[in-house]
Amino acid sequence: MSFTVGSKFFVGINLGWFEQAYSYDMGYSEFDDFPLWTYPPTAPITLNLAVPNMPPHPPFLSQHPEAIEQYFSAINGVDIVRLWLFEELEGLVFTKDGNNNLSGIDPVFLTNLLAVLDSANNHNIKVYLTLFNSWDTHSSPPAGLDPSRVGKYQELFSARKQIILKIMQDPTDFCNKIITPLVNIIKNKPAVFAIDIMNEPESVTENNMITPAQLKSFVESVATAVNPSGIKVSIGCMRKNIATSFSSTMDFSDIHVYNNPAIPNSQAQLDPYNSSDFSGKSCILGECGYALDSSPYDINQEVIVLQNLLQTTNDKGYAGAIAWRYTDYENPDVVLQTVLSFANTKPTIKAIKNPGCFIATAAMDSEIHPHVQFLREYRDNILLRSSHKEQFEKLLDWYYKFSPPIAEAMNKDKNLKRVMKYIVVYPIVLSLKILLKLLGNELKDF
């Protein structure tokens, strides 16, 4: 699938997990919460939940393989499905020596994953595979759990959390024992779209679980392990500024946008896509839709918000949009049909023109004059990729505000146009070309 302007705009749906089988849909979870729900609910649990235990029940898809085909048949017509893999450590196998170290991947998990990829391919749907969900490091006792078992829940949750953080702090075993074998198995499956390293990674750094530097090292290590396979890599972020911070090492960027029109100032401001914001890479909305935590909840907004986001994302030059799980909404059939209807319009990726060099264009009487093109490229490739990008953006905002009236005055006054051409534009272009010749890309560090 191509990210170029004029190619198909990707329209998709988040699957996340099959049915309600979070953490056990495709593979066994050696840190399963099944013991918390054994009967009678007040009976003591003697099992140590802080170490890996093989659950007594098989994964959901092993019991219901027909669910795979049923799912893809229902969404036939979308381009992409985003599917989570290792939620709550599902599919990962650990040593039984008390250290909870990684030892490999559950073979049942791989069997079911391959079946999912084959079914997706039969429906001409690509699968975007998310490795971890950062929100697994945040939790509270589930509703309905007997108070006598809350301590055991905390024992289980703490073990899961520490394992995820340990993997992020030192991803060596994860890359060698999980990622490399995984990508070697799936790399030739035509349904594989890309790997999303972690769902919303901000949640671990903003809560001081790991440092931004550790997160950056983790992301770069996983990307490096995936790269030889030829599979694209991204990371789904809650905020644009976090996505841009990872963009140089990603194949494309991924941001998540939810809206609730009932809450003042809650509307996400989706800026027009600008390649310079993302290191020249494309960007998609990996999640979007009506905010499920909206209060009061307005079922009528489910479709309205989603339609607006899909259309706006396309109009503003992004490469695709993946709606959140339709089954989580109160009117799932209509939400699904909204996505399918938009996909049926066969939208394409649109070119979004960055603001022009107004004064230079007026001075040279053409926006395609070599000097104007040079200044535009210098802006996009040097200024907006430099270590002082934010300061330059503020200067450019000022320029875009005040330069159009100056350009208009130049177009009305030939003498002013001549002065600006020879006193302003020519000297600036010459000076910048000399700097580029002397310093090249080192200018980005200034």
pLDDT digit string, tens, across residues 113-155: 999 999 999 999 999 999 999 999 998 899 999 999 999 999 9
> Which CATH number does 10-344 carry?
3.20.20.80
Position 209 pLDDT exceeds 70: yes
Compute CA distances 201 → 132, 162, 256, 273, whole Å. 9, 16, 12, 22
Q: What is the pLDDT of residue 431?
A: 87
Position 265 pLDDT exceeds 60: no
Q: What global pTM score does this model have? A: 0.81
Residues 97, 101, 107, 110, Cα dihedral to 10° = 170
Single-letter residue type at 253? S
**What DSSP state is assigned to residue 229?**
G
pLDDT in tens, 5-25: 889 999 999 999 999 999 999
Q: What is the pLDDT of residue 103?
A: 97
Residues 6+ apart with CB under 8 A from 30: 52, 53, 54, 55, 89, 92, 93, 94
> Which residue carries 């998609």 as its tokens?
284
- Which structure tokens are listed for 269? 């401001």
pLDDT in tens, 386-421: 777 767 767 876 777 778 788 888 888 888 989 889
Q: What is the pLDDT of residue 322?
A: 98
Compute CA distances 91 → 82, 155, 163, 182, whole Å. 17, 20, 14, 11
Position 315 pLDDT exceeds 50: yes
CA distance 285 to 303: 17
- Enumerate the CATH 3.20.20.80 domain ranges in the chain, comma separated: 10-344
Angle, nearest 10°, between helix axes 370-381 and 426-439? 50
pLDDT in tens, 78-106: 999 999 999 999 999 999 998 999 999 99
Q: What is the pLDDT of residue 446?
A: 46
Compute CA distances 245 → 231, 252, 374, whole Å. 21, 12, 26
Nearest to 190 by CA among 230, 132, 228, 224: 230
Q: What is the pLDDT of residue 396?
A: 74
